[in-house]
Amino acid sequence: MHWIYVLTTMLSLTVAAASSASTSVPHKTHFQSVFYDEGGNPLPSGSYYAKFTLIGQSDEILYEEEQGVEMINGVVSIMIGDGSTIGSNLSEPAGGIPVAALEPNQKIYVRVEINGKEHNAPLEIGSVPYSYFSEEALSVAPKSILSESLADGVVQENHLSDVLREAIFGSVAPDRVSSSIVTQDQFSNHTSSQSHAHPAESIYITNPSFAYSRSLDVGNVLKDLDRAIETIRRYTDTKVSKAGDSMSGNLDMGGKSVTNVAPPANSNDASTKAYTDQQYNVLNTQVSTSISSTNASVDTLQGQVNELGDSIAGMPKVVAYAVVRANRDGSVEPTLLGQHNISGVHRVGDSYQVAFSNPISFPYVVVAIAMNSNPDGDRDDMATIVEDAQNNNGFIIRTVNGASGGGPTFTNVSFNFAVIK
């Protein structure tokens, strides 16, 4: 089911600018219509949801909005442009019809939906006097803009330096210089006619290796140069200077060599292979000389030891000894006061049996000294030591009282003996 409406008045908006600062073109268009149902009756008075869509000649959507409208006996009178963004539930203003949507060189139509029901055909938007005035404002009458109406920054001929003015317009007498606007084409023709090796030459940078800017403007060239300097600074900050530098981290040579190093002067200086080889040869010579001298000394000492050994080998050695104290009555075992390689001295009848701790091969010699004193304390009566039954494990020793002429006695006899091999 479609609503039927009759368009009674519609005001149009076209692309335009205000003729003065106090007047601006509204981004709205007035829509007024009467809506009937299919029976030809005006729609009842009340609130309705309306959707307005501006479309182009190819049915492309140029603008759309939604509004809540009040209808009185089918009559609606609203401003398209006062509505809200589609889908915002009438809460977000659409911001008015954009100028770009009202291209003056094409036909524009409005499509209307009331409570979701669309009219059967879009209606074309016509022009009104305001639009005719706006269309006229799209063009400017010849010689109608005065120099005082120009915005700041517009370049006029009298703004140029004598050198630049002459380069663009040729020789002009000072009293003939006008306030005409210098066009972009005139500037472009001037710059393209210059034969510069590089763009910066146009601002009198004549170094042919200068390649940091392609600008023809001094300010932009300086900005480009600042950026180039900063880039170079960041690059050089990570490089080692040939004039000398200090590392802030480890230097990995990646398997390459460090060559032509000066001889070291300090303890932490790098050393060349030649210097290291030289020091090694000096040290090796010193060590070799020291070893040779030591070997000679060792050979001499070995000879002396050998000679001493030969001498010692032919000399007798004490291989066992003991200091023995006999008991006064001779009834108990004697006491060893000191001994070497003697495991014991035992009473056997009228003799003493001496045993070696470690066997001593026979022959060997026993040297003994006995000190004997009679019970009355007379010490001029010395006993004589005799040994017998010598073998590898020991021998028998007896004391003979020299004063009494032969009979053995053990009364208060103490003696020392040594075994010599």
Are 366 and 390 within 8 A, CB to CB?
Answer: yes
Residues 69 and 21 in one domain: yes
Boundary (domain end) residue, out of 146, 167, 193 = 193
The whole-number pLDDT of residue 51 equals 92
Residue located via tokens 């601006």: 24
Mark whether 414 and 337 lie in a shared domain.
yes
Does 186 lie in the same domain as 64? Answer: no
The first and second tokens of residue 231, run together, are 């880039």
In this structure, the strands spanning 335-340 and 117-118 are: unpaired
Predicted structure pTM score: 0.34
pLDDT in tens, 4-28: 554 444 444 443 333 444 455 678 8
Structure confidence by residue, pLDDT tens digits, 298-319: 778 877 777 776 666 667 888 8
Domain membership of residue 299 (yes or no) is: no
Could you tell me the CA-to-CA distances from 38 to 45, 89, 297, 330, 406 in Å, in that order? Answer: 16, 29, 140, 168, 180
What pLDDT score was predicted for residue 313? 67
Give the alpha-carbon dihedral of 64, 114, 131, 108, to 10 degrees: 60
- Sequence-distant (6+) residues with CB within 8 A of 42 are 34, 35, 36, 73, 74, 75
| Range name among 103-107, 178-182, 253-257 with the lowest pLDDT average | 178-182
**Cα–Cα distances in angstroms (integers) from residue 44 to residues 76, 85, 100, 229, in the given order:** 11, 27, 37, 77
Residue 76 pairs in a beta bridge with 33
What CATH number is given to the structural domain containing 416?
2.60.40
In the prediction, which pLDDT does 376 show? 47
- Mean pLDDT for 316-343 is 80
Q: Residue 363 has what pLDDT?
A: 87
CATH of the domain at 127: 2.60.40.1930
pLDDT at 381: 44
> What range defines the domain where residue 182 resides?
157-193
Strands in 43-127 per DSSP E: 46-55, 61-71, 75-80, 109-114, 117-118, 123-124
pLDDT of residue 373: 47
Q: Residue 49's pLDDT is what? A: 92
For the segment 371-387, the average pLDDT, to the nearest whole number, is: 52
d(CA 164, CA 159): 10
Note whether 8 and 120 are same-domain residues: yes
**Selection from 386, 321, 399, 398 nearest residue 357 by Cα:** 321
Cβ atoms 113, 51 nearer than 8 A: yes
Domain count along the chain: 3
Range with lowest mean pLDDT among 127-131, 239-243, 257-261? 127-131
C-beta of residue 85 within 8 angstroms of C-beta of residue 92: yes
Does 297 fall in a domain? no
Over the chain, what is the mean pLDDT? Answer: 75
- CA atoms within 13 Å, Cβ hemisphere of 393: 1
| CA–CA separation, 237 and 158 (whole Å) | 49
Are 73 and 102 within one domain? yes
Domain boundary among 107, 137, 167: 137
Residues 117, 174: one domain? no
Kindly compute the dihedral angle of the four CA atoms of residues 174, 176, 181, 185, in this order, to the nearest 10 degrees: -90
Token duo for residue 205: 């940078």
Task: Say whether both 48 and 167 belong to one domain.
Answer: no
**Higher per-residue confidence, 41 vs 187:** 41
Q: Which range among 107-121, 300-314, 324-338 has the greatest average pLDDT?
A: 107-121
How much is the pLDDT for 16? 39
Residue 364 pLDDT > 80: yes
172 and 53 within one domain: no
Q: Which residue has the higher pLDDT, 206 or 79?
A: 79
| DSSP code, position 123 | E
Q: Are 135 and 45 in contact (CB under 8 A)?
A: no
Residues 162 and 72 in one domain: no
How many Cβ atoms sit within 10 Å of the Cβ of residue 219? Answer: 9
- The residue-averaged pLDDT of 215-227 equals 76
Distance of CA 408 to the CA centre of its chain: 105
- How many CB atoms neighbour CB 354 within 10 A? 25
Separation between Cα atoms, residue 261 and residue 274, nearest integer Å? 10
Same domain, 116 and 184: no
Residue 363: CA count within 13 A, CB half-sphere:
2
Answer yes or no: do 76 and 164 share one domain. no
- Domain assignment present for residue 387? The answer is yes
3-state secondary structure of 378: coil
Is residue 177's pLDDT more than 70?
no
Q: What sign does the dihedral 252-257-258-264 (CA atoms) show?
A: positive
Whether 145 maps to a domain, the answer reads: no
Q: Which of 137, 170, 205 is the C-terminal boundary of a domain? A: 137
Residue 103 lies in a domain: yes
In a domain, 219, yes or no: no
Token duo for residue 347: 């009473």
The rounded distance, in Å, linking the Cα atoms of 366 and 371 is 16
Q: Which of 77-81, 246-250, 344-348 has the highest mean pLDDT?
A: 77-81
pLDDT greater than 80 at residue 252: yes
Specify if 373 maps to a domain: yes
Query: What span, in angstroms and rounded, lies between the C-alpha atoms of 401 and 397?
Result: 13
Q: Measured in whole angstroms, how far is the alpha carbon of residue 319 from the centre of its chain?
A: 80
| One domain, residues 131 and 41 | yes
Q: Is residue 127 part of a domain?
A: yes
> Which range (46-60, 67-81, 84-98, 306-320) has the least confidence?
306-320
